[in-house]
């Protein structure tokens, strides 16, 4: 049976619907006040204002806000006709984005240039405008690079625009010249790399622009790039120590060639480009950088060499000694080390540290303490023993030519790597022997060695060795 | 492909076809498309009771009219959010009215005025004004008695008898079950009767 609440509710519903209400005292008592409320008067509801507001809201809702303007004022009201502005805007954005990658000759390229022109309007300050022009030049350069990459000739107009952009950028006063110079150098490097692949008729113009950029960058030419060639030698030198030497031997006449291998070290310099020409410039420009490379070399090669080196000593002694007995080799080798010392005791140290790590293995070599004696045997006779030093023999060939050549390779200095080989000298033990070397008046020579005969230097190193075990190895070679 | 397009067009045409306005769902569907006719029907159907409800809560005919205009503006803007489970269109509109009156008090920072303060030109509600015309005396009694009820009891009385909503709709608005609303309605009517009797009102017999 329904509860009283239900029956009351049902009675109220019937009363509201104008139907009969069941006779029930309890229900009647409760329905009386309800009826009074329903019959109570209310003010006449004015409808005009409310209706007007509702109609206005309806109109506004049909065209409301930005979404309404774009035809997106609520999904329920989306209509194709209203989507037109939104679609047009979207299409415009897509075209602009696509045009960013357009290349000269493509149908979107004019759009790209148009958008670039528009972008200029937003650059108000001189610095911003300079930046704009530099960016513009960068875009043109990139276009030329991309065209070259896909085997299409770069149009003259692009090169002209590149030049004009830089001219505009440089003509703006009161801008950060340092930044501009950096950008100019950066782009000049790229342009130089691109130059050979440009159409022949553009190359002269490109060279002129390159010169202009270099001028902007504050330098006269780009020798550094060529220098890389020399560096290679350095790198090779160390490596060659163990194996390649023979190859060098023939070329030994000119020690520099041996240096050539170093290019890998430099890495950055367009590896392909510089082959031979660099020789002269080598010394001047990048050689120093070679130093940087050295560490890397030390790291990887040394380890590998080590193992090989270790055996080599034992084996090589026998074969090489006789031929290479010409202690001359040892001098050649020594030059490298010696030179390092020449610069200054300290500089040498710098390399030594690098070697030191490599030297770690040397300790293992240490066992060959006998060698250490050799170094100590500074005297020529000792050289004989030096032959025992397999490594030396290898080098010997090249040095044989003359100690001089070795010196010429002043770069060798940079080739701290030479010292790296030193590790083999593992003669670390030598330090212990140091007393002997110290005995030699070489200390005084140490400074000179670089200047004076390499042989002496070789000995000189010994003194240096005294301080550092790593170096001792070199001396041993000398020996 | 063409067949698909034709079918799509046909279905769109069908959707656009005039749905019967007697049905709440169809009415809402057309209202969502900002159909003028649908909104006029909604206005005519709900305005009187919504106005009365707001008037009883606000006690000012001018404010009630303003709030009613605001109510329909909001309804037009938010009709796409309407869900049938909100107590039907009547319940949804009444909830908007309720929120508007709360906002009204909050804005004014005043205590709700006497809901039965009669200072306007009055007409009786119902089909026959002459028959239902009440005197000011009974109205005064009712006003005073309503003031003595709890807020919940007053809400259920106003929603049920002034806004003329069904129990389920009131339950949806008040967030209660229909059983709870029926019990509350019972207690509210009993309390109202007690208050009227206590005040010496004899019109209940």
Both structure tokens of B182: 């029926």
- Name the closest residue on chain A to residue B168, using Cα atoms: A9
At B51-79, the pLDDT tens digits run: 888 887 887 788 888 899 999 999 998 88
- Residue B160 to residue A6, Cβ atoms within 8 A: no
Q: How far is CA A333 from CA A324, A407, A469, B83, in A?
A: 12, 10, 17, 93
Tell me if domain B23-113 and domain B136-200 are identical in fold.
Answer: no
Confidence of residue A404 (pLDDT cuts 50, 70, 90): very low
pLDDT at B13: 57
What is the 3 state secondary structure string of chain B?
CHHHHHHHHHHHHHHHCCCCCCCHHHHHHHHHCCCHHHHHHHHHHHHHHHHHHHHHHHCCHHHHHHHHHHHHHHHHHHHHHCCHHHCHHHHHHHHHHHHHHHHHHHHHCCCCCCCCCCCCCEECCCCCHHHHCCCHHHHHHHHHHHHCCCHHHHHHHHHHHHCCCCHHHHHHHHCCCHHHHHHHHHHHHHHHHHHHHHCCCCCCC
What is the interface pTM, i.e. ipTM, of the complex?
0.72
- Residue B47 to residue A5, Cβ atoms within 8 A: no
CB < 8 Å from A in window 9-28 of B: none
Confidence of residue A345 (pLDDT cuts 50, 70, 90): very low
Rounded Cα gap, residues B139 and B119, in angstroms: 12
Confidence of residue A320 (pLDDT cuts 50, 70, 90): very low
- Residue A8 to residue B185, Cβ atoms within 8 A: yes
Residue count of chain B: 205
Q: Is the dihedral of CA A246, A250, A254, A256 positive or negative?
A: negative
Rounded Cα gap, residues A350 and A199, in angstroms: 47
At A135-145, the pLDDT tens digits run: 999 999 999 99
Domain spans in chain B, listed from the N-terminal domain onward: 23-113, 136-200
Q: What is the DSSP secondary structure assignment for residue A454, as one 8-state letter? A: H
Question: How far is the alpha carbon of B182 from chain A, nearest alpha carbon, in Å?
Answer: 5
For domain B23-113, the CATH class is: mainly alpha
At A413-440, the pLDDT tens digits run: 444 444 434 444 444 444 444 444 444 4
Pick the CATH number of B136-200 from 1.10.15.40, 1.20.58.110, 3.30.365.10, 1.10.10.10: 1.10.10.10
Give the burial class of A201: count Cβ atoms within 10 A of its Cβ; 0-12 exposed, 13-18 middle, 19 or more buried: exposed
Mean pLDDT of B153-157: 90
Interface A-B, measured as beta-carbon pairs within 8 A, has a size of 151
pLDDT at A271: 34
B147: contact with A, CB 8 A cutoff: no
Rounded Cα gap, residues A201 and A195, in angstroms: 11
Q: Are A260 and A277 in contact (CB under 8 A)?
A: no
Rounded Cα gap, residues A206 and A144, in angstroms: 11
Q: How far is CA A124 from CA A269, A350, A394, in A?
A: 38, 51, 67
What is the 3 state secondary structure string of A238-284?
HHHCCCCHHHHHHHCCCHHHHHCCCHHHHCCCCCCCCCCCHHHHHHH
Query: Which residues in chain B are closer than 8 Å to A67, comparing Cβ atoms?
Result: none
Please check the confidence at residue A264 and state whether its pLDDT lies above 50: no
Confidence of residue A176 (pLDDT cuts 50, 70, 90): confident
Task: Using CB atoms, pick whichever of B34, B56, B167 lies closest to residue A77.
Answer: B34
At A79-111, the pLDDT tens digits run: 556 678 888 999 999 999 999 889 998 999 999
Is residue A131 helix, strand or coil? Answer: helix
pLDDT at B110: 57
Query: Which residues in chain B are closer than 8 Å to A27, comparing Cβ atoms?
Result: none
The highest-confidence range among A280-289, A304-313, A385-394, B151-160, by mean pLDDT, is: B151-160
Task: Using CB atoms, pick whichever of B122, B203, B205 lies closest to residue A42.
Answer: B122
- Name the closest residue on chain A to residue B193, using Cα atoms: A33
Rounded Cα gap, residues A76 and A285, in angstroms: 72
User: Best residue in A11, A35, A44, A50 to probe B by mutation, most B CBs within 10 Å?
Assistant: A50
Smallest Cα–Cα separation from B190: which of A39, A16, A5?
A5
- Residue A61 to residue B145, Cβ atoms within 8 A: no
Question: How far is the alpha carbon of A26 from chain B, nearest alpha carbon, in Å?
Answer: 10
B56: contact with A, CB 8 A cutoff: yes
At B99-153, the pLDDT tens digits run: 998 888 888 765 555 444 444 444 444 444 444 445 556 666 776 788 889 989 9
B144: contact with A, CB 8 A cutoff: no
Domain spans in chain A, listed from the N-terminal domain onward: 64-95, 109-220, 315-478
Confidence of residue A444 (pLDDT cuts 50, 70, 90): very low
Rounded Cα gap, residues A335 and A461, in angstroms: 9
Rounded Cα gap, residues B182 and B167, in angstroms: 7
The highest-confidence range among A91-95, A225-229, B30-34, by mean pLDDT, is: A91-95
Mean pLDDT over each residue of chain A, to the nearest integer: 60
Is residue A77 helix, strand or coil? Answer: helix
């Amino acid at each position: 049976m329904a509860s009283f609440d239900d029956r009351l509710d049902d009675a109220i519903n019937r009363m509201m619907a104008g139907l009969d209400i069941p006779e029930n005292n309890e229900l009647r008592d409760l329905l009386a006040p309800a009826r009074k409320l329903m019959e109570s008067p209310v003010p006449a509801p004015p409808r005009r204002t409310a209706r007007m507001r509702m109609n206005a809201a309806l109109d506004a809702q049909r065209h409301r806000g930005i979404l309404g303007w774009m035809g997106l004022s609520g999904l329920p009201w989306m209509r194709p006709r209203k989507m037109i502005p939104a679609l047009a805007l979207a299409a415009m954005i897509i075209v602009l984005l696509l045009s960013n990658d357009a290349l000269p000759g493509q149908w979107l390229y004019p759009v790209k240039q148009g958008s670039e022109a528009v972008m200029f309007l937003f650059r108000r300050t001189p610095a911003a405008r300079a930046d704009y022009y530099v960016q513009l030049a960068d875009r043109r350069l990139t276009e030329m690079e991309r065209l070259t990459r896909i085997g299409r000739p770069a149009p003259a107009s692009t090169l002209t625009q590149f030049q004009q952009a830089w001219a505009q950028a440089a003509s703006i006063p009161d801008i950060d010249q340092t930044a501009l110079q950096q950008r100019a150098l950066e782009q000049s490097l790229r342009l130089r790399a691109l130059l050979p692949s440009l159409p022949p008729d553009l190359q002269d113009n490109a060279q002129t622009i390159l010169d202009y950029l270099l001028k902007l960058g504050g330098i006269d030419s780009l020798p550094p790039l060529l220098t890389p060639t020399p560096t290679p030698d350095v790198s090779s030198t160390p490596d060659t120590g163990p194996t390649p030497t023979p190859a060098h031997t023939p070329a030994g006449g000119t020690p520099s060639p041996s240096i050539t291998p170093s290019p890998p070290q430099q890495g950055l310099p367009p590896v392909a480009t510089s082959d031979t020409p660099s020789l002269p410039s080598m010394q001047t420009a990048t050689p120093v950088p070679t130093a940087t490379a050295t560490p890397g070399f030390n790291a990887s090669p040394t380890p590998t060499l080590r193992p090989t080196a270790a055996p080599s000593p034992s084996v090589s002694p026998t074969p090489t000694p006789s031929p290479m007995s010409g202690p001359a080799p040892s001098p050649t080798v020594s030059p490298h080390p010696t030179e390092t010392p020449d610069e200054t005791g300290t500089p040498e140290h710098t390399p030594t540290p690098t070697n030191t790590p490599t030297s770690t293995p040397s300790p293992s070599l240490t066992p060959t303490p006998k060698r250490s004696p050799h170094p100590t045997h500074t005297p020529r006779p000792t050289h004989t023993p030096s032959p025992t030093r397999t490594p030396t023999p290898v080098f010997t060939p090249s040095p044989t030519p003359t100690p001089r050549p070795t010196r010429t390779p002043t770069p060798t200095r940079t080739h701290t790597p030479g010292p790296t080989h030193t590790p083999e000298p593992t003669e670390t033990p030598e330090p212990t022997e140091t007393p002997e070397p110290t005995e030699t008046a070489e200390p005084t020579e140490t400074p000179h060695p670089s200047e004076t005969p390499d042989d002496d230097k070789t000995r000189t190193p010994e003194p240096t060795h005294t301080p550092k075990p790593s170096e001792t190895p070199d001396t041993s070679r000398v020996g | 492909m063409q067949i698909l397009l034709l079918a799509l067009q046909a279905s769109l045409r069908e959707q656009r076809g005039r749905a019967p306005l007697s049905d709440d769902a169809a009415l809402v569907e057309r209202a969502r498309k900002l159909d003028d006719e649908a909104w006029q029907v909604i206005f005519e159907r709900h305005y009187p009771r919504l106005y009365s409800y707001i008037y009883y809560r606000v006690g000012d005919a001018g404010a009630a009219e303003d709030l009613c205009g605001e109510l329909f503006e909001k309804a037009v803007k938010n009709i796409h959010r309407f869900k049938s489970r909100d107590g039907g269109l009547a319940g949804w509109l009444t909830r908007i009215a309720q929120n508007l009156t709360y906002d009204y008090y909050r804005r004014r920072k005043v205590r709700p005025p006497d809901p039965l303060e009669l200072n306007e030109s009055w007409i009786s509600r119902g089909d026959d004004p002459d028959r239902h015309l009440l005197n000011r005396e009974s109205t005064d009694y009712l006003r005073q008695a309503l003031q003595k009820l709890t807020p919940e009891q007053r809400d259920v009385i106003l929603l049920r008898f002034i806004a003329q909503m069904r129990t389920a709709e009131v339950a949806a608005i008040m967030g209660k079950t229909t059983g709870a609303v029926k019990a509350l309605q019972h207690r509210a009517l009993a309390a109202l009767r007690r208050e009227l009797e206590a005040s010496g009102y004899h019109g209940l017999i």
